[in-house]
Amino acid sequence: MQNIGFIGVGIMGKPMAKNLIKAGYSLVVHDMDTAPVKDVVEAGAKEGKSSSHVAAQSDVIITMLPNSPHVKEVVLGKDGVLDGAKPGTILIDMSSIAPLVSREISEKAEEKGVIMLDAPVSGGEPKAIEGTLAIMVGGPQETFDKVKDILAVMGGSVTLVGEIGSGNITKLANQIIVALNIAAMSEAMTLAVKAGVDPEKVYNAIRGGLAGSTVLDAKMPLVLEGNFKPGFRIELHIKDMMNALETAHELMVPVPLASQITEFMQALKVDGKGGHDHGGIVQFYEKLAKIEVRK
């Protein structure tokens, strides 16, 4: 069984790493934050001293980091993955980053004999804990086939969508749809409450029809409880949307709705709610309408 290095064990990475340990894989983990590392080590992993130290002990290296600069630093920087990785090592970046950065890192990795896949995920912390994430992968078919079983431990669906960078293009499309679904839910439920109708009853009435969605079922119960504990933080969704806008502008694709919802989330961040779950987008509407969407 392949030895796996796992770099980045935060909200998402920690449960993903633990699921790999449960499945019997040997893990070496590293993170700048030592607290989650200790938690994963207690579950059966070894602690790596640095990214290069992790890479030197691994056949497959998984990175799960906040954004493009972090991945570049961990992979390409001093004492980074490429300083320690052997030729033939597979690098799976499961972070959500700019597609052009995925391609840039992949080219540098290939010079060292390291083959890269970009494999961002969707589903947030609950799906990470369950091991049922949606994983969208870009890279060579042959490499994908070698690690598909590893990815399947962490994901309910694992799909190769194209060449390197395609995984993150797919993730950007996903993030636009998720953000706009939450905004539509928030707008509709704010209207219902303002009109004096019970939002829980509205939710139950529409969830089985055409307006029903995975997003609605995941976020509406939390909104009704006023629970904005982060499964996926607003500030991270802003990061994804900024990557989407940048990519869209480079490709000359107008994305007016994506631009608008990004500004809604930015307003919430300015209001001190950037650390809330993205279901907290409803608070933008609540503030405007001077009501709360609760049970």
**Residues classed as catalytic:** 171
The continuous run of DSSP H or E covering 153 comes out as: helix 141-154
For helices 166-194 and 234-250, angle between their N-to-C axes, nearest 10 degrees:
120
Dist CA 237 CA 279 (whole Å):
11
Question: Which residue bears the tokens 């640095």?
Answer: 50
Identity at 21, one-letter amino acid code: I
Question: Is the C-alpha dihedral spanning 233, 235, 240, 244 positive or negative?
Answer: positive
Q: Are strands 133-138 and 121-122 parallel, antiparallel or unpaired?
A: antiparallel
Q: List residues bridging with 162 in a β-sheet.
A: 138
CA angle centred on 179, ends 104 and 94, rounded to 5°: 35
Dist CA 52 CA 36 (whole Å):
19
Beta-strand ranges (E) seen in the chain are: 3-7, 26-30, 46-47, 60-63, 90-93, 115-118, 121-122, 133-138, 155-162
Count of CA atoms in the C-beta half-sphere (13 A) of 18: 19
Contact at 8 Å (CB) between 134 and 170? Answer: no
Dist CA 64 CA 31 (whole Å):
10
Dist CA 170 CA 289 (whole Å):
34
Output the six-digit token pair for 261.
């919802």
